[in-house]
Chain A
Amino acid sequence: MADTVASPQVHGPVGQHDVDYLHDGSLLSWLTTVDHKKLGVMYLWSILFMFFLGGIFALLVRLELFAPGKTIMDAETYNKVFTLHGAIMVFLFIIPSIPAALGNFALPIMLGAKDVAFPRLNLLSFWIYATGAMIAVVAMVTGGVDTGWTFYTPYSTTTDGSVALMTFAAFVLGFSSILTGVNFIATVHKLRAPGMGWFKMPLFIWGIYSTAIIQVLATPVLAITLLLLIMERTFGVGVFDPKLGGDPVLFQHFFWFYSHPAVYIMILPGMAIISEIVPAMSQKTFFGYKATAFSSVAIAIVSFVVWGHHMFTSGQSQLAGAIFSFLTFLVGIPSAIKVFNWITTMYKGSISLQAPMLYALMFLILFGIGGLTGIFLGAMSVDIHLHDTYFVVAHFHYVMMGSTVIAFFGGLHYWWPKMFGRMYNETAARIAAILVFIGFNTTFLPQFLLGSRGMPRRYYNYLPEFQFLHQVSTVGSWILGLGFLIMAGYLFASLRKKFDAPPNPWHARTLEWQIPSPPITHNFHEVPVVKSDPYDYYRPFEPSVKGHH
Chain B
Amino acid sequence: MNSLRDWMMPMQASEHAAKIDNLYLFIFWLTLAFFILIAYLTVAFAWKYRRKKEGVLTVNLQHNLALELVWSIIPLILVIGIFFWGFNDYAAASVAPNDALEIHVTGKKWNWSFEYPDGTRSIRSLHVPVNKPIRLIMTSEDVLHAFFIPSMRVKQDVIPGRYVDLNFTPTVAGRHQVFCAEYCGRDHSGMMADLFVDTPAKYAEWLEKGDEELYKMKPAELGKMVWEMKGCNSCHTIDGTKGEGPSFKGIFGKTEKFRDGSTIVVDENYIRESILNPQAKVVAGFEPVMPTFQGLLREIEIKGVIAYIKELK
Contact = CB atoms under 8 A, between A and B. Distances in A.
Interface string B6-45: 0011100000100110011001101100110011011101
* Interface bin, chain B: 35 or more
A461 interface: yes
A49 interface: no
Interface string B135-155: 000000011101010110111
Interface stretch (B54-62, B97-105, B229-237): B54-62
A115 to B, nearest CB: 32
Contact of A333 (B20, B38, B79): B79
B121 to A, nearest CB: 23
Interface string A333-355: 10011011001101111111100
Of B43, B80, B87, chain A has the most CB atoms within 10 Å of the CB of B87
Contact of B183 (A286, A380, A458): A458
B180 interface: yes
A474 interface: no
Contacts of B90: 312, 318, 321-322, 380-381, 384
Interface string B156-169: 11011110100000
A389 B155 CA distance: 11
A344 B56 contact: no
A387 B9 CA distance: 14
Given A289-B62, A318-B94, A322-B87, A372 B143 contact: no
A154 interface: yes
B185 A79 contact: yes
B162 A381 contact: no
Contacts of B94: 318
Interface stretch (B70-78, B269-277, B292-300): B70-78
B219 to A, nearest CB: 33
Nearest to A295: B72
B27 A348 contact: no
A159 interface: yes
B93 A381 contact: yes
A288 B46 contact: no
Nearest to A383: B86
Contact of B157 (A283, A313, A375, A463): A313
A385 B17 CA distance: 9
Nearest to B139: A242
A343 B45 contact: yes
24 contacts: A79-B185, A152-B143, A152-B144, A155-B185, A248-B144, A282-B58, A330-B79, A336-B75, A349-B58, A351-B50, A368-B38, A375-B30, A375-B79, A378-B79, A381-B20, A387-B181, A388-B146, A452-B9, A453-B9, A454-B150, A456-B180, A456-B181, A462-B189, A538-B60
Given A347-B61, A381-B88, A458-B188, 8 more contacts: A282-B49, A285-B60, A314-B159, A318-B91, A318-B94, A348-B49, A349-B45, A458-B183
Interface of B: 8-10, 16, 19-20, 23-24, 27-28, 30-31, 34-35, 38-39, 41-43, 45-46, 49-64, 67-68, 71-72, 75-76, 79-80, 82-83, 85-91, 93-94, 142-144, 146, 148, 150-151, 153-157, 159-162, 164, 177, 179-190
